[in-house]
Amino acid sequence: MDRALTAEELGKLINALLQRDSIVEIGVVLICLVAAWAMVRLLRGAQAQPGSILFGDAVYDGVLFPVLALLLALGARWGLQDMLPLAVFRLVVPLLTSLLVIRLTVRVLHRVFPTSSLMRVVERSVSWVAWIAMALWITGVLPLLMAELDAIQWKIGSTRISVRNLLEGAVTSIVVLVLALWVSAALEARLLTGATDNLSVRKMAANAMRALLLFIGLMFALSAAGIDLTALGVLGGALGVGIGFGLQKLASNYVSGFVILAERSVRIGDMVKVDNFEGRITDISTRYTLIRALNGRESIVPNEMLITQRVENSSLADTKVALSTVVQVAYGTDLDALFPRLLAAVAAVPRVVADPAPAVQLTAFGADGLELTIPFWIADPDKGQGNVRSDVNLAVLRVLNDHGVEIPFPQRMLHSI
What is the CATH number for 395? 3.30.70.100
Q: What pLDDT does residue 284 have?
A: 82
- Structural domain count, the chain: 2
| Boundary of a domain, candidates 110, 131, 151 | 151
Give the pLDDT score at 257: 78
Residues 6+ apart with CB under 8 A from 38: none
The reported pLDDT for the residue numbered 61 is 65
Helix axes 163-192, 88-112, angle to 10 degrees: 50
Is 253 domain-assigned?
no
Cα–Cα distance for residue pair 95/88, rounded to 1 Å: 11
In a domain, 88, yes or no: yes
Residues 6+ apart with CB under 8 A from 153: 160, 161, 162, 163
Would 235 be classed as within a structural domain? no
Q: Does residue 106 sit within a domain?
A: yes
Q: Where are the alpha helices (DSSP H) in 359-415?
A: 386-402
User: Residue 144 burial by CB count (10 A; 0-12/13-18/19+): exposed, middle or buried?
Assistant: middle
Does some domain include residue 386? yes
At which of 129, 151, 173 does a domain end? Answer: 151
* DSSP SS3 for 130: helix
Residue 50 lies in a domain: yes
In this structure, how many other beta carbons lie within 10 angstroms of the beta carbon of residue 224? 17
Asked whether residue 157 is assigned to any structural domain, the reply reads no
Which residue stretches of 231-318 are H helix? 232-245, 248-263, 303-308
Strand 277-284 relative to strand 271-274, pairing = antiparallel
Sort 92 into a burial class: Cβ within 10 Å, 0-12 / 13-18 / 19+. buried
Q: Return the pLDDT at 5.
A: 44
Element (H, E) at 44: helix 21-44
Nearest to 151 by CA among 161, 142, 141: 161
376 neighbors 324 (Cβ within 8 angstroms): yes
Please state the pTM of the whole predicted model.
0.42
pLDDT along the chain (417 residues), means of 10: 48 60 75 82 64 66 77 80 69 77 73 65 71 70 70 68 72 72 70 58 68 74 63 62 66 78 77 86 84 85 88 74 89 90 92 89 88 90 83 92 86 69
Of 95, 116, 151, which residue constitutes the final position of a domain?
151
Burial of 218 (0-12, 13-18, 19+ CB in 10 A): middle
pLDDT of res. 1: 41
Distance CA(136)–CA(144), nearest Å, equals 10
Question: pLDDT at position 115, please?
Answer: 64
Range of the domain at 124: 7-151
49 secondary structure, DSSP code: P
At 4 the pLDDT is 43
Whether 101 is covered by a domain: the verdict is: yes
Report pLDDT for 374. 92
Per the CB < 8 A criterion, the answer to whether 104 and 45 are in contact is: no
Q: What is the pLDDT of residue 3?
A: 43
Distance CA 299, CA 281 (A): 10
Neighbours of 277 (CB within 10 A): 13
